[in-house]
Amino acid sequence: MRDILNELEKIREKDAKYKQILGSMCTPPHKIAIEAYKMFIETNLGDYELFKGTKELEEKAIEWIANLLHAPPTYAGLLTSGGTESNIVAMWIFKLLSNKNEIVLPKQAHFSFLKASSILNLKLKVIDCKYYMKANEVKKKISSKTACVVTIAGNTNFGYIDEIEEIADICYDENIFVHVDAAFGGFVIPFISNKVFDFRAKISSICVDGHKMGMACIPCGFLILREKEWLEEIKVRSKCTHTKFQASLLGTRPGASAASAYAVMHFLGYEGYKKIVEECMNKTAYLTKLLDEKKIEYVKPVLNIVAIKLKNVERVAEELKKKGWYVGIDEENEIIRVVLMPHVEKDMINKFVNDLEEVIK
Ligand code: 0PR
């Protein structure tokens, strides 16, 4: 056994270390999340008749998120493997409920909607907007064929938030579902602003990831629906499990994710997350101050994501990699993306900005 573990240790050395990673929305999980994960490592939420305690933790973790997002008492929730699964399941449900297959979404939407489109045979009507989607553009694009409008609270490249409240009002009047992808922003926005992006607006569903700013272990996402019965749409009789029905995309699901999320949510609480998010926002301001000093252009951040405007982004990212940095790139918008996650320290920022200046001069 020792030999294999030694081998694994060596192979693990090939992985990038978080102290080099600036372009990820993941971060090392909180200590308590890891401890909780280990305790529930063998549990399976796909057959929760066997794991009633774990099921309780899934429900309690969902309830915590539902409260954070002002869900009405009629809500239903699902613990998922992350934003991709949550987005696919939401589209699946709204396609079934509406009996339509057209989705309106902003250009900045995450590529998981391309996957959803391919799997569910959805027609995507993309709104070409610069940083975020405006309500008047949605108004022009929707029709009687629209099943759902996808909005984003904290988009992948810029961290910008669509005009969700206004869009939800328009869609409510037209009987169109509204899904909010808050995979990243869900664990950021409530702690730094009063911006309405959640169930206080007339939205239908929202997803938030525990394995991004939630400090839980991978895999961990949440999908919350406004109405309990909507989840029934995807319910199937699960014949061989001890549990009679499943209403989820996955079969076997890690209960450890529920335990890890529950533990970190209750350990940190609202105030604990607020502190972490505020620190991330301080580091965001610190990075933009250094960029200003060096006269390097960027898109003014609203969350802890900085899109740095450059030429030859692929070459820059390649050069940065040689200096030990991993950044996200978007060649279409000509930006490299830095996500100021909890693991990104000020000394990393100092060194990164100096290296960036060298690479682009
Ligand atoms: N929705 C939004 C707004 C996202 O930003 C992401 C992921 C997803 C959904 C999908 O989430 P899952 O990957 O959990 O299914 N956005 C980043 C991306 O895919 C996340 C990322 C990037 C994570 C780099 C790690 C990393 O190393 O671009």
| Residue 113 and residue 202 in one domain | yes
Given 236, 266, 296, the domain boundary residue is 266
38 shares its domain with 129: yes
243 and 104 together in one domain: yes
For residue 188, what is the domain's CATH number?
A: 3.40.640.10
Number of structural domains the chain divides into: 2
Q: Nearest CA to 177 among 125, 226, 108, 247?
A: 226
Residues 40 and 137 in one domain: yes
Last residue of a domain, which of 266, 301, 334?
Answer: 266
Reported for 113-116, long-range contacts at CB under 8 A and 24+ positions apart, including other chains, are: 113/87, 113/150, 115/84, 115/88, 116/87, 116/88, 116/91, 116/92
pLDDT at 361 (0 to 100):
85
Q: What is the pLDDT along the chain (361 residues), one digit of tens a residue?
A: 999 999 999 999 999 999 999 999 999 999 999 999 999 999 999 999 999 999 999 999 999 999 999 999 999 999 999 999 999 999 999 999 999 999 999 999 999 999 999 999 999 999 999 999 999 999 999 999 999 999 999 999 999 999 999 999 999 999 999 999 999 999 999 999 999 999 999 999 999 999 999 999 999 999 999 999 999 999 999 988 999 999 999 999 999 999 999 999 999 999 999 999 999 999 999 999 999 999 999 999 999 999 999 999 999 999 999 999 999 999 999 999 999 999 999 999 999 999 999 999 8
Mutation to probe ligand 1, out of 27, 80, 156 (largest number of atoms < 8 A from CB)? 156
Specify whether 240 is located in the same domain as 290.
no
Q: Is 47 in the pocket of ligand 1 (CB under 6 A)?
A: no
Q: What is the CATH number of the domain that holds 314?
A: 3.90.1150.10
| 146 CA from centroid of ligand 1 (Å) | 26
* The residue count for the chain: 361
Both 244 and 287 in one domain: the answer is no
- Range 251-279 burial, b when 16+ CB lie within 10 A, else e: eebbbbbbbbbbbbbeebeeebbeebbee
What is the per-residue pLDDT for 284? 98
> Quick check: 182 and 331 in contact, CB under 8 A?
no
Tell whether 311 and 262 lie within a shared domain: no
Nearest CA to ligand 1 atom 14: 82
DSSP string, 228-293: HHHHHTT-EE-SSSSSSEE-SS-SS-BHHHHHHHHHHHHHHHHHHHHHHHHHHHHHHHHHHHHHHH
Q: Are residues 183 and 304 in the same domain?
A: no
355 with 218, same domain: the answer is no
Q: Where are the alpha helices (DSSP H) in the chain?
A: 2-12, 31-39, 52-68, 83-98, 112-120, 135-141, 164-174, 189-192, 228-232, 255-293, 313-322, 346-360
Among 266, 285, 308, where does a domain finish? 266
Q: What atom in ligand 1 is closest to the CA of residue 221?
A: 14
On whether both 178 and 285 belong to a single domain, the answer is no
CB 221 within 8 A of CB 213: no
Shortest-distance Cα residue to atom 27 of ligand 1: 24
Residue 225: domain span: 31-266
For residues 223 and 283, membership in a common domain is answered with: no
Residues 94 and 203 in one domain: yes
Structure-block tokens of residue 203: 């939205």
